[in-house]
Amino acid sequence: MIRLRIQELTFAYDDSQAVLQGISLEVAPGEMVALLGPNGSGKTTLLKIVLGLLRPHGGQVWLDGQPPDSLSRRRIAQQVAVVPQHFHMPFAFTVQEVVMLGRTPHVTQFMGGESPADRKAVRQALEFTSLTPLASRSFHELSGGERQKVMLALALAQEPRLLLLDEPVAHLDIRHQVETMELVGRLNHEQGLTMIAAMHDLNLAAQYCNRLVMLSHGRIVADGSPSQVLTVENIQRVYGADVCIVPHPAHGTPVILPKFEHKISPQTKPRVRS
């Protein structure tokens, strides 16, 4: 497991206004954290800095006491995996071949092909994500939900200590949203994998993550449990939305419901086109 520490982080693209301003955050080994906030709040930028793709203008990031910019790309990839919001595969790879890409950081030029450890890691990743029956299928033939499972399997085959997820359930139907988050939760609980997920769905974040960090205009405005962060005041302040919050009937976590100014009367019958 890995410990992430961020102190007084600032970042801006070109000469534009700062995207991140004074971000300080510590993620303990085994935590499952959701980054919340509207578009442009800095969630994805923060993930890219942790991954070492962007260099902060101020402040510092430490992965187990080491700044990412002091590590090679290969060394970072051996510790940190990412499930991106969009993944484009230009080749007609099978599911198994795509998942095998996760082994790239562990391969050296002297190995000359896949090792038994590589094949074992891929096999276990396919089994964990229930993708073994689809191993020989073309990645391009899969549904959106199945492709997201492949991305999780690829990250799992990488054998990381920290997993970053950028909108892991975007564009998925409710069934595949739940399946994806259940898989992510199992990785956290069964393997102790530290996770940080940028998420738009507040309700899913509340159900699956025990810690939420809410961003607004590049700053942290709330950090704590779902019930501490997801308040009517915080959501109004950050999202400008009027909501009501009720406890989940099964386990009491907050469920956010929008307040509608207009609703269809129960006596109004829908018009049916002939």
Residue 58: left if φ>0, alpha if ψ -120 to 50, beta else—which one? Answer: beta
CA distance 74 to 114: 17
More confident of the two residues 272 and 128: 128
Angle between helices 144-157 and 174-191 in degrees, nearest 10:
10
Give the rounded percent of residues in the chain with a pLDDT score beyond 70: 92
CA distance 255 to 246: 5
**140 secondary structure, DSSP code:** G
- Count of other CB atoms within 10 angstroms of residue 142: 17
CA distance 158 to 117: 11
- Reply yes or no on whether the pLDDT at 265 is more than 80: no
Residues 118, 103: contact at Cβ < 8 Å? yes
Residues 83-113: tens digit of each pLDDT: 987 777 767 889 999 999 999 888 765 555 7
Residues 31-74: tens digit of each pLDDT: 999 999 999 899 999 999 998 888 888 999 998 888 887 888 88
The single-letter code of the amino acid at 221 is: V
The single-letter code of the amino acid at 268 is: T
- Reply yes or no on whether the pLDDT at 242 is more than 90: yes
- Main-chain phi, psi angles of 75, to 5 degrees: -65, -40
State residue 89's pLDDT score: 73
Confidence grade of residue 228 (pLDDT, cut at 50, 70, 90): very high
